Amino acid sequence: MTAGCVAEQALEADGFDTVVLDLSLPGRSGLDILASWRRSQHLTPVLVLAAREGPRD
């Protein structure tokens, strides 16, 4: 199971006060996970992290 899938399952299974979410998760992007979570009306604050290689990213 990929990290993206595990993260998505954890968000659905537990209540969190805050979420730290990486955009570059393998298997499912953090941005996709966040969009899906917000569509489900979750309002928990999310800190989004992104590490990219260059200016194009």
d(CA 41, CA 43): 6
The answer to whether position 14 is within a domain reads: yes
The answer to whether position 36 is within a domain reads: yes
* Cβ density class 23-36: b for 16+ within 10 Å, e for less: bebeebebeebbee
Number of independent structural domains in the chain: 1
Q: What is the pLDDT of residue 2?
A: 87
At residue 10's C-alpha, the angle toward residues 6 and 12, to 5°, is 120
The answer to whether position 40 is within a domain reads: yes
Q: Show the domain range for 25.
A: 3-49
Q: What is the pLDDT of residue 50?
A: 83
Query: What is the DSSP code (8-state) at residue 21?
Result: E
The answer to whether position 54 is within a domain reads: no
Instruction: State pLDDT tens for residues 3-27.
Output: 888 888 888 887 889 999 988 888 8
The answer to whether position 23 is within a domain reads: yes
